[in-house]
Structure 1
Amino acid sequence: MNPLAQLPLEKARSVRVILTDIDDTITSEGMLTASAYAALENLQCAGFLVIPVTGRPAGWCDHIARMWPVDAIVGENGAFYFRYDRERKKMHQHFWAKPEELKGNRAKLDAIEKDVLSSVPGSALASDQAYRVADLAIDFCEDVPALPESEVDRIVSIFERHGAQAKVSSIHVNGWFGDYNKLSMAKTLLAEVFGLSWEQAKECVIYAGDSPNDEPMFEAFPLSVGVANIHAFEHRLKHKPAYIAKGHSGDGFAELAELLLSARQR
C-alpha cells in the first residue's frame, strides 16, 4: 500500500467515478461529519459520479439515494442498486434476486440468526436488520461490546456451514444467499446506468474502503484507496488497496476528495 500522496497526477486526473464504502470510510465512529459530507458534495458539484457501495440496508439506501449528494447506491453488499431521478422524482431499483427468491432466502437466514445468537454469546442482531431485504447482519461491535476476532470468525463459519456467503465489515458480519458481492452489482450499475464497460471502468473508477468486505473491490480496481483504519484489518486481507490515506475514516475520505479535486483543477 503506497501513501495516497504518491498517486500520480495523471492517474488522479483520469478518475471520473468514486465508488466508496460508508461505515468507517465516510463516517467516523458512527457519525457523518460535516467535512466528509462536504467532500461528497464537492466531488459531485465538480462533475464526478459519486456512488456509495455499502453493506447497509435497503431502508437506509432509499434515504441516501434521495437525500445525499450521490448519483446512485449499491446496498446490502451487492443485493441491489438504487438510483433516484431528481428531475422526474422517481426511484429506480434493481435487485439481484427475484421476489420469490428473497422470500425463500429469508427463511434460511432466520435459521442462521437463531444458530448464531445461541452459539456466540455477546453477538446481536444488527439494529438496522428491520430495514434489510436480502441479508442478515450480525453485530459484533457497533451497538455491543466488541467481540474477539475468534468469535467473529465463528460467526462467519456458522453462515458458511448453512451454505451462505459471509463477509466481515468494520462492525457487522453480513451473510446472504446468492452469487453476488459489492463488485458484481457495482459492475452492473456502471454498465446499465452509466454506460461504462468493465474495461472503461478500470481506467476511470477509484474505490475507497476500510475493511475485509471491500477486498473484491481492492482486487478489481487498479485505483483503490484504504483509509488509515484499514491497518486494523490488514492481516485479514489477501488483496490490499493500492494506496492508503493518512487520515482515518471520514478524514481519510476527505483527503482523497481533496486530492482528486486538486488534480482536476491543475
Structure 2
Amino acid sequence: MKPLSQLPLAAARSIRVVLTDIDDTVTTEGLLTAKAYGALEELHRAGFIVIPVTGRPAGWCDHIARMWPVDAVVGENGAFYFRYDRQRKKMQQHFWASPEELKQNRIRLDAIEKEVLATVPGSALASDQAYRLADLAVDFCEDVPALPETEVDRIVAIFEKAGAQAKVSSIHVNGWFGAYNKLSMAKTLLADVFGMDWEQAKNAVVYAGDSPNDEPMFEAFPLSVGVANIQALAHRLTHKPAYITENHSGDGFAELASLLLKAKG
C-alpha cells in the first residue's frame, strides 16, 4: 500500500466516481463527523458521482439515499441499490434476489442466528438487524465487548457450513445467501443508472474502505484507497488497497476528498 500522496495527478484527474464504505471509513468511532460529511458534500457539489457501498441495512440506506449528499447507495454488502430521484420524489430500488428468494433465505438465516448465539458466547445480533432485508449481521464489537479473532472466525465458519457467504467488517460478521457482493451490485448500479461499463469504471472510479468485506473492491479497482486504520486488519486481506491515507477513518476519507478536489480544480 503506497501513501495516498503518491497517487499520480493524472490518475486523480481521471476519477469521476467515488465509491466508499461507511463504517470506520466515513465515520469515526461510530460518529459521522462534520468534516467527513462535509467532504461528501464537497465532492457531490463538485460533480463527482458519490456512492456509499456499505454493509448497513435497508432501513439506513433509505435514509442515506434520501438525505445524504450522494447519488445512490449500495447496501447490505450488495443485496440492493437505492437511488432517490429528487426531482420526481421517487425512490428507485433494485434487489439482487426476488421477494420469494428473500423470504426463503430469511428462514435459513434464522437457523444460523440461533446456532451462532447459542455457540459463540458474547456474540449478539447487530442492533440494526431489525432494519435488514437480505442478510444477518452478528455484532462482535460495536455494541458488545470485542470478541477475539478466533471467535469471529467461528462465526464465519457457522455461516459457511450452512452454505452462506460471510464477510467480516470492522464491527460485524455479515452473512447472506446469494452470489453477490459489494462489487457485483456496484457494477450493476454503475451500468444501469450511470451508463458506465466495466472498462470505463476501472479508470474512472476510486474506492475507499477499511476492512475485509471491502476486499472484492480493492481487488477490482486499480484506484483503491484504504484509510489508515486498515492496518489493524491488513493481515486478514489477500488483496489490499493500492493506496493508504495518512489519517484514520473519517479524517482519512476527508484526506482523499481533498486530493480529488484539488486535482479537479
TM-score by length of 2: 1.00
The count of residues paired between Structure 1 and Structure 2 equals 265
The whole-number CA distance in structure 1 between the counterparts of 2:229 and 2:62 is: 27
CA RMSD in angstroms comes to 0.2
Cα shift readout 1:19-76 (whole Å, capped 9, x = no counterpart): 0000000000000000000000000000000000000000000000000000000000
The whole-number CA distance in structure 2 between the counterparts of 1:257 and 1:177 is: 34
Give the C-alpha shift of residue 202 in structure 1.
0.2
Residue 173 of structure 1 aligns with which residue? 173
The 3-state SS of whatever aligns with 1:127 is: coil
Cα shift readout 1:76-109 (whole Å, capped 9, x = no counterpart): 0000000000000000000000000000000000
After superposing on structure 2, the runs of 4+ consecutive aligned residues of structure 1 that deviate more than 4 Å are: none
The 3-state SS of whatever aligns with 1:193 is: helix
Residue 86 of structure 1 aligns with which residue? 86
Which amino acid in structure 1 is aligned with residue 31 of structure 2? M
The whole-number CA distance in structure 2 between the counterparts of 1:53 and 1:119 is: 31
Which amino acid in structure 2 is aligned with residue 102 of structure 1? L
1:213 aligns with 2:238: no
Residue 33 of structure 1 aligns with which residue? 33
Which amino acid in structure 1 is aligned with residue 88 of structure 2? R
The whole-number CA distance in structure 1 between the counterparts of 2:77 and 2:176 is: 9
The whole-number CA distance in structure 2 between the counterparts of 1:234 and 1:177 is: 26
Give the C-alpha shift of residue 223 in structure 1.
0.1
The within-5 A match list for 1:92-241 is 92-241=92-241
The 3-state SS of whatever aligns with 1:84 is: strand
Which amino acid in structure 2 is aligned with residue 208 of structure 1? A
Which amino acid in structure 2 is aligned with residue 175 of structure 1? G
Residue 264 of structure 1 aligns with which residue? 264
Give the C-alpha shift of residue 208 in structure 1.
0.1
The within-5 A match list for 1:6-21 is 6-21=6-21
The whole-number CA distance in structure 2 between the counterparts of 1:74 and 1:133 is: 13
The whole-number CA distance in structure 1 between the counterparts of 2:176 and 2:264 is: 39
The whole-number CA distance in structure 1 between the counterparts of 2:239 and 2:163 is: 24
Give the C-alpha shift of residue 134 in structure 1.
0.1
TM-score by length of 1: 0.99
Give the C-alpha shift of residue 237 in structure 1.
0.4
Structure 2 residue ranges without an equivalent (≥5): none
The whole-number CA distance in structure 2 between the counterparts of 1:92 and 1:60 is: 15
The whole-number CA distance in structure 1 between the counterparts of 2:170 and 2:13 is: 30
